[in-house]
Structure 1
Amino acid sequence: MGDANTTAPASRLARWRAGWRVSLRMARRDVRRHRGRSLLVVIMVGLPVLLLTAGSTLWFSEDLDTAERLPLQLGQTQGYLVEPMDMTIHQFIDPRTSYGNGPDTETTSKVVPGYGPGQETAALARLLGATLHPVTLSSGTVRVDKVSVRVAVLGVDAPSAARVLSPKVSLASGRWARSPDEVVVTDLGLAAGLPRSGTVQLRVPTPEGRTEARTVTVVGVGTGYASWGAEDAHPIELIGQPASSPNDRQWLVERATPITWPEIERLNTYGVGVYSRHVVEHPDTMVLPPGITLPSDTNALFVVLAASFGLLLLTTMLAGPAFAVSASRQRHSLALAASNGATRPQLRRTVLGQALVLGVLSAVVGAVSGVVLGLAAASVTHAIRPDHFFGPPQVSWSSVLIVAAAGITSSVVAALIPSRGLGRLDIVSVLKGQNVSAPLRRRVPIVGAALTAIGVGAVLFASYRAADAYFYVFLGGAALIVAGSLLIVPLVLSLVARIAHLLPLPTRMAAREAGRLRGRATPTVAAIMGGAAVLATVCIGLQADTERGARSYTPQLLEGQGIINSPDNVSREDAQAIVRAADPALLTLTPRSLMPRPDGTAVALAAVQPGCSFAETAPQIAYDPTTATPPGDTLPRCATIASDAYFPGSGLVIADAGDLSDFAGLDDSQRRALAAGGLAVLDPAVARTLPRTTPQWQQGTPIARLRPLDIPLDGDTSTWYRYSFRTDDRGVPVASSVEQARVSFPVVKLDHEQWMRLLGVGYGGVGAFLTTSAVERLDIPMMDSPTLVRGPSPITEAQERAVQEAVQTRSPDAGFTVERGYQRDDTFILAIVISIIALVILVATLIATALGQAEAAPLLGTLAAVGATRRTRRALAASQATYLALVGAVLGVLVGLAPGIAISRILTTSYTEGGGSDFSTVIISIPWLQILAPVLLVPLVAGALAWVSIRRAPVVVRRAT
């Protein structure tokens, strides 16, 4: 019989738990003992966690969810109605998005009983059996210290605001507006410079389409929110009474019962759109036809997934050098443990335990700091920029946990490689003080090359496919490229070490040390490579998108000229007064177009084309949209310039002769001919040097390449059809009522420079210019178009601001835009991306260099002992930092090329009407300067900082070797 006191052997699980318990205890002690190194790891892992957590907190604080948004949209009501349409609608949850009400399926809506001017609220209230509260939204301008401030005015009546509209509108002090001449100012209005009390000059639109200025009194301070669509709720500057001619009008529904989906469908037959609190909270009650689904956007999911994947990968690479050096520093103690019987799993758990402890510490510190920073950033942003709306502070704890788990995982993954290397620990060599990486395995770089090739093929293959599922193929390919490249890094370090005899002495020593200690150098190079790869990918993608925008950009005017845009088209006289008040040196040109008579008769002009009948020439008849065949690749034989343009370069523009002459810069003979009722055309000799006009407008065509349609000239005159016709309810000409006659105009030929000054491009450019006096003699009514503005030289930014101020003073909704060519809008984003990635590369290089210098302290002591000066030691430190950073950066650029090219293809591929891909628009452009500048500059900066870091002589100690 056995001894009763003999203890049964512990189970494998118990031994595993005990081993991890010991490893974690040792890891905690090691973290406390080596605080500096631990702090570096916490920074490397915790910083990305902090940024992601802070960004997540900002995102969820800014992005209102349904529960937060509904009270700001509806107050305490059941929903709202929007203006009835004259056709039936089939809406989704949002009344402004619908299906099935296009030209092929629309039907006339039922008439809301009693609906008419002044009776809208009462009629809709009877239709719903509810009390309705009208809410309007108007735009206006307020003069503040000689500056016009654009404001939004929310119109509500005081009893509704006080009773059922909170918190859509709420009052902090004072009282609600009780008349059209009273307003409540909000925090947003106060931030814009509006006073808390007193009077201000407010300009708002009138029912006649003009604007009026009136003095309003500020009677209170509060908050107010407007909404346009289901996903919107934004603050406004002023709250007043409902406006008579608003930009938008809603009716909030007050009743005890909810607005259900069947009732929404009934109201849709009256053309009334409804936003219902009940349907928003219970979307499953919606009944949609088969094949119709709610709109969704999955692109955001893909972007978030890609960003999370990239940051997780980058964090793993950043933490790699620290754990590699940590494992290297512990080689002696681990070798002693192995000589005393420690197994390989126990040695590995020692390194992984440290990674787990530091990963948890980093994740907790980063997550807590990120939440605090995100909340603080939201508060500060709202204080500095009240127009940037943030909802209630919100922390997505699920996102925080995901990010923290990713940080812990990245820390453990970063320690896996050095921990695996402990399996090949040469105990004797380590105890003797020899620290050399094991011989390079041949199959490792071969496997790496194969993975890289497969990854490149995968990302390029995915770039030729439009389905969303191929996005995962792209991500998988990118991961294979990175993994394969990491396996090739040791081979690169070895090869460079072999040719290092060609390099200067400090660089030679750095290259040979990196080749000899590949286990420590590889993670450092990998971290830098990851940052450089992200930089190359982002820069290539942004460059392709920028060039696509530049190629497709269509200038509307000659560069340096401006245009006044207004919903009510500022008249010629008003435009001249506005611009003259801003800067007398500026010139204006207010083009005019023909308009129908009050009885519905339309009068038009079209240039006669030889050999073509009137029916073949007049575009309204020749190209009847109900019967005409769409044009092919060439212009029809009878295409001509007409008052109703049908082809690019075929429009007829009318303008005052004096304005036209001044704006184009005509000479005296041209002015006299034009004043006699002439027609201004581009000199045919000049026109023949320009590319021929095509039937379809080509986006991106420069103004200098625009060519008008050719029309025959009989000496110095041009013959035109003047014709009138009626149109049916669809706007199609009724041929039986067409009347036509011929008229002639004297011709004024313009050179190319004069011609380009007059072009407000529109659809493909202008064909000819006719004076208003000639049109008035033909008894044709006209209407004003947006006014063009130019100066003796290109309009400056100061002139632009002056005109913009004067324009908005006259019309709150008007604007002034100056043509300055294509303006890249991603410069700020690109600068941030380059700065962050350059900082990441720099930090990774410096931390790896610092850890390496700490480990190389015995070597530096030996060098000092044999006479090496501080300058020599500095050169060595700088060479190590520069060499590792440069190798990693160059490899990173090479790694980022394939994903960058694939993203460029995805961004610039166009799609045909049938859903197919058109690869003829693909743009592949590599911005070498943007990529190489930080790639070359950062290693030099890292080397310089490493040079400066060597400040004193090392302590010389006895070495084992």
Structure 2
Amino acid sequence: MKGVRAALRISRRNARRSKWRSALILAMIGLPVALASFVLSALFGPGPLPDHGHYPLGQADAVVTGAHEWAGLTQDAWGNSGSPQPGRDQTPFTPAEIAALVGPGNRIVPFAQAYVRYLTPQGYGSGEIRQVDLDDPMSRGTFRLIEGRLPAAPGEAVVSAARLDPAEGAAPGATLYVGEERRPLRIVGVALFDLAGIEPAFAAFPGSLPDAAFGPVGPGLRSRGWLVDSTHPLTWADVRRLNARGLVVVSRAVVDAAPPDEAPSRVRVSSIAQTAPWVAIMLLEVVLLAGPAFAVGRLRRAREFALVAVQGGSPAHLRTIALADGLLFGVAASVPGAALGVGAAWLARPLLERRAGYLLPPLAVPWAAVATAAALGVVAGLLAALAPAVSASRTDPVAVLSGRRERGRERAGRPLLGIVLVVAGTAATIASAGHELGLIATSALVTQLGLVALTPVLVAAVARLAARLPLPLRFAARDAVRNRGRTAPAVAAVMTAVVALTAVGVTWQSRLAQRPAYAQDYPQAPAGALWIAGPDLTPGLWDRVRSAVREELPAGVPLVEARMLATSAGAPVYASVPDDASGTSRVELSDASRSGGLLVGNDDLLRYVLRRDDPRAAAALHEGKAVVLNPAVIRQGQVSINVSPAAGPDDLAPLPLPAVGTQATGEGWARAVIAPEVAAKHGYGTMTAMLVVDPADFRVPRATADRITAKVEGITGKATVRLEVPEPPDDTLLLVVLGIAAAVLVLGMTFVATMLAAAEARPDLETMSAVGAAPRVKRAIVAGQALVIALLGSVVGVLAGFAPGIAAARYPDPHPAVFLRADGVTTMVPADTPVIAIPWALVGLLVVALPLLAALGGAAFTRSRLPLPRRRAT
């Protein structure tokens, strides 16, 4: 133990002497630990979101809601009850009755929440509106104001940060008109809300909306109720007493005493299996990155090791002194790194909440996971110092103290072990294609370990190939071979980073090349069609959009209008045309028009939907029948369509229509077409849902479509413009993200290794200066050293990254693919055979651009004057 203490004191003294090298090693070990601690604290620290949704308690002691007709109901601790059913004939309690039931001395504050439709200057919108006094102490903890002020009078509201959108009229200073009565609601602030219940889009001051706007009393979150500030905790006996009178109660005392759910922090074996390979890869990268720094530190301290050896120090003593560096730097970097990550997660909470759009649960740092990350940092420091420690134990004191270079004992690695691991890892990667990503990562890790073992052999092979190259490159290659203990870890570090980047790039590019997984990404109209969808636009906005589109189209080109059902007040009605004879429908709100597949229009719309002229279908449309694109849903000459209002809890009565079936040949969401007179006959109005330019009439050029899009976006942010033409996948984000990561990792590691190599090659540069080498030779040599490290690591890394990337790309999408039939029905099918796409731009960046940039950077940041030889005393 005394020897360890002395070794740590020696390491601390040397760390103070070499401040820049020490800072570099601390950053190499500490930053990954800080990053891991930040991710663990930011993602897993807030704890799970509540499984039992109810109106958030805030600082209230209880939340109650109910009706006289609910007497004798039963509930669980979180207020879930199967007994009460909302209905228009139920009699809610009055505030006086609630005050009498919960007991004297208790204070109650009313609240209400419902899903409503509102009007903005940009068109209609819909969302949850909560009506409660946010300034009341019982509301504290349910929100946080981040902009503006709280509502202080009826007619004022705050908008949720998740719904803040100035382009759509949802921002401070805007005025909303809510419900059919168009009650004005002025937005005065922005707030983040708790996710314990249904997050509201707006929170209004009490009295802003009438009770009728919130519908009947119900046991759920969209209801009316009261927050209770009681003089004593409401126990389960109190809850059962109030249940007997018809109240559903969520009591803080009961919820806190309820048995907790399964602990979310319980680590499962499957989770460990999925996480372990990624942790091992990160640990390997840190070891390879910090290894050269420890190796150069050992060379700089060679005289110190030699003096210890001549004074009786054993090889074990020398190893202990060298390993003390790893222990010292590992602890000194990991502990502050873990603290820095936790602190950064705490400081970043407001930003994360603003980004998420809601309040996060209280921070609960997963100390066990953070301590594990710190322990791995210490282990990484020890592993990085292990190879230099073994070299230190073999110090030749006579050669060192006499000023001669030590005889190299570095071997060309373990090629047999490396070959076995590479072959086994590659075979396992091929076999794991299409399986879990954790298995693929494990196989790739085995391959990486084999390549690390083969790196010295690869470095030696490069030196033999460089025999006919110019002097700087030839010197750099031979210097790399002569100092394999320093070069091999640097090359391996670059290679490991490039393998990961290449694998991610191949997987990402392949996913982009595959067909989309969601119906909205598939063609929603015939090829070449231009459509504008805006079910939330007002008639005035549609007139402006229609005029803007006609300005860009040639004269005489018809503009097909598709309409949808609406109430007499002009609110949209969603229709659900059946998928098949069973009457089910999966399309209700998925299409851009939000019509549910039932379109209202004339002969032009019918021809557009069918992609042909059909006299029989046109005659049926004129006769007041529905033209159905899937004849299988017609029963006894009729089709039954379910309809529901845009806002409101009650569905409308099914709509039976006489129907004629026909077969469609195009693509789109339409399932049935009816004439406007049919809608009026059944008491419905209509409203514009889409404008379409039929490609049979005119194919809109891309430039024209872009101008139309710009004009429509200038009018309203609630309209969608799309030209149905095939477009190549956009890989810009792929190149930007991976390009930045590659530049930081590859160039950073290359520059570090090059600086260390240049410092170690000082005696050779002195010799060159003595024999008359030109000043630019030093720049060329440093550039050659950077090129050798970056090029060898990048080329091998790219080749090794193809296999795990292709294997991950073949992993099937867990969601089945969705496509549209000609009759507008969505069909679920297994995913296609994965498409393998290579990101050649990324490969070129890794193999060509970054090595050349590393060489240029090494030459640019190196002084051209060669050092003069130092004279040694004789």
TM bucket (normalised to shorter chain) is: 0.7 to 0.9
Amino acid at match of 1:326: G
Equivalent residue in structure 2 for 1:45, among 29, 52, 57: 29
In structure 2, the CA distance between the partners of 1:911 and 1:147, relative to structure 1 (3 Å rule), is closer
Contact kept in structure 1, 2:638 and 2:657, CA below 8 Å: yes
Contact kept in structure 2, 1:156 and 1:239, CA below 8 Å: yes
Structure-to-structure mapping, 1:267-278, within 5 angstroms: 277=252
2:314 maps to 1:343: yes
* Residue deviations 1:632-653 (CA, integer Å, cap 9, x gap): xxxxxxxxxxxxxxxxxx9885
Partners of 2:3 and 2:96 in 1: CA distance? 79
Partners of 1:536 and 1:554 in 2: CA distance? 29
Q: Which residue of 1 aligns with 2:487?
A: 521
Partners of 1:261 and 1:822 in 2: CA distance? 64
Structure-to-structure mapping, 1:70-469, within 5 angstroms: 74-79=58-63, 110=83, 112=85, 116=89, 119=92, 133-136=110-113, 154-158=129-133, 162=136, 164-168=138-142, 180-183=154-157, 202-206=175-179, 208=180, 212=182, 214=184, 216=186, 226-227=193-194, 239=205, 241=207, 243=209, 244=211, 245=213, 248-249=222-223, 251=225, 254=228, 277=252, 281-282=256-257, 284=259, 307-371=278-342, 373-378=344-349, 387=357, 400-425=370-395, 433-435=404-406, 437-438=408-409, 440=411, 444-465=414-435
Structure 1 residue matching 2:113: 3-state secondary structure:
strand
Structure-to-structure mapping, 1:863-942, within 5 angstroms: 863-908=768-813, 921-942=833-854
* Residue deviations 1:449-483 (CA, integer Å, cap 9, x gap): 222333334445455556xxx93x55543432222
2:12 maps to 1:19: no
Partners of 2:685 and 2:40 in 1: CA distance? 52
308-317 vs 786-795, which moves further: 786-795
User: How far 1:502 moved relative to its partner?
Assistant: 3.6
Partners of 1:740 and 1:583 in 2: CA distance? 35
* Residue deviations 1:33-63 (CA, integer Å, cap 9, x gap): 2222222222322332343344455446877
Contact kept in structure 2, 1:136 and 1:250, CA below 8 Å: yes
In structure 2, the CA distance between the partners of 1:337 and 1:724, relative to structure 1 (3 Å rule), is closer
Partners of 2:831 and 2:531 in 1: CA distance? 36
Amino acid at match of 1:409: V
Partners of 1:307 and 1:901 in 2: CA distance? 18
In structure 2, the CA distance between the partners of 1:453 and 1:666, relative to structure 1 (3 Å rule), is closer
Amino acid at match of 2:742: I
Amino acid at match of 1:723: G
Contact kept in structure 1, 2:161 and 2:191, CA below 8 Å: no
Structure 2 residue matching 1:869: 3-state secondary structure:
coil
Contact kept in structure 1, 2:285 and 2:493, CA below 8 Å: yes
* Residue deviations 1:139-170 (CA, integer Å, cap 9, x gap): 77787xx8789897753344x96363333268
Amino acid at match of 2:391: G
Amino acid at match of 2:637: Y
Q: Which residue of 1 aligns with 2:697?
A: none
Amino acid at match of 1:313: L
* Residue deviations 1:582-639 (CA, integer Å, cap 9, x gap): 6553786443579999xxxxxx9xxxxxxxxxxxxxx99994569xxxxxxxxxxxxx
Structure-to-structure mapping, 1:818-837, within 5 angstroms: 818=722, 828=733, 831-837=736-742
In structure 2, the CA distance between the partners of 1:302 and 1:543, relative to structure 1 (3 Å rule), is farther
User: How far 1:249 moved relative to its partner?
Assistant: 3.8
Partners of 2:463 and 2:146 in 1: CA distance? 73
* Residue deviations 1:725-745 (CA, integer Å, cap 9, x gap): 88999xxxxxxxx998999x9
Q: TM-score normalized by structure 1?
A: 0.66
Amino acid at match of 1:540: V
* Residue deviations 1:644-666 (CA, integer Å, cap 9, x gap): xxxxxx988541346779x8999
Partners of 1:479 and 1:854 in 2: CA distance? 32
Amino acid at match of 2:794: A
Structure 2 residue matching 1:867: 3-state secondary structure:
coil
Q: Which residue of 2 aligns with 1:682?
A: none
Q: Which residue of 2 aligns with 1:477?
A: 443
Partners of 1:233 and 1:309 in 2: CA distance? 40
In structure 2, the CA distance between the partners of 1:484 and 1:172, relative to structure 1 (3 Å rule), is closer
User: How far 1:253 moved relative to its partner?
Assistant: 5.7
Contact kept in structure 2, 1:592 and 1:782, CA below 8 Å: no
Partners of 1:886 and 1:559 in 2: CA distance? 47
Structure 2 residue matching 1:906: 3-state secondary structure:
coil
Q: Which residue of 1 aligns with 2:757?
A: 852
Structure 1 residue matching 2:259: 3-state secondary structure:
helix
Equivalent residue in structure 1 for 2:509, among 533, 543, 565: 543
In structure 2, the CA distance between the partners of 1:829 and 1:49, relative to structure 1 (3 Å rule), is farther
User: How far 1:73 moved relative to its partner?
Assistant: 5.1
2:691 maps to 1:789: yes
Equivalent residue in structure 2 for 1:34, among 8, 11, 18: 18
Partners of 2:511 and 2:343 in 1: CA distance? 35
Contact kept in structure 2, 1:356 and 1:411, CA below 8 Å: yes
In structure 2, the CA distance between the partners of 1:660 and 1:280, relative to structure 1 (3 Å rule), is same
In structure 2, the CA distance between the partners of 1:891 and 1:253, relative to structure 1 (3 Å rule), is same
Contact kept in structure 2, 1:562 and 1:789, CA below 8 Å: yes
Structure 2 gap segments, 5+ residues each:
215-220, 553-557, 569-574, 585-595, 624-628, 644-655, 694-699, 818-828
Partners of 1:377 and 1:156 in 2: CA distance? 30
Contact kept in structure 2, 1:510 and 1:880, CA below 8 Å: yes
Contact kept in structure 1, 2:334 and 2:374, CA below 8 Å: yes
Contact kept in structure 2, 1:226 and 1:235, CA below 8 Å: no
Partners of 2:124 and 2:46 in 1: CA distance? 25
Partners of 1:624 and 1:189 in 2: CA distance? 38
Contact kept in structure 2, 1:121 and 1:134, CA below 8 Å: no
User: How far 1:527 moved relative to its partner?
Assistant: 1.3
Equivalent residue in structure 1 for 2:524, among 556, 571, 593: 556
Structure 1 residue matching 2:453: 3-state secondary structure:
helix
Amino acid at match of 1:494: A
Amino acid at match of 2:14: D
Partners of 2:757 and 2:157 in 1: CA distance? 68
User: How far 1:886 moved relative to its partner?
Assistant: 0.9
User: How far 1:800 moved relative to its partner?
Assistant: 4.1
Contact kept in structure 1, 2:177 and 2:183, CA below 8 Å: yes
User: How far 1:333 moved relative to its partner?
Assistant: 3.7
Q: Once superposed, what is the RMSD of the aligned Cα atoms?
A: 6.0
Contact kept in structure 2, 1:458 and 1:477, CA below 8 Å: yes
Equivalent residue in structure 2 for 1:499, among 465, 482, 487: 465
Partners of 1:880 and 1:771 in 2: CA distance? 77
User: How far 1:347 moved relative to its partner?
Assistant: 1.3
Structure 1 residue matching 2:870: 3-state secondary structure:
coil
2:480 maps to 1:534: no
Structure 1 residue matching 2:551: 3-state secondary structure:
coil
Structure 2 residue matching 1:440: 3-state secondary structure:
coil
Contact kept in structure 1, 2:537 and 2:719, CA below 8 Å: no
In structure 2, the CA distance between the partners of 1:154 and 1:841, relative to structure 1 (3 Å rule), is same
* Residue deviations 1:844-863 (CA, integer Å, cap 9, x gap): 11011111111111111111
In structure 2, the CA distance between the partners of 1:956 and 1:739, relative to structure 1 (3 Å rule), is closer
In structure 2, the CA distance between the partners of 1:659 and 1:621, relative to structure 1 (3 Å rule), is closer
Partners of 1:297 and 1:239 in 2: CA distance? 45
Q: TM-score normalized by structure 2?
A: 0.72
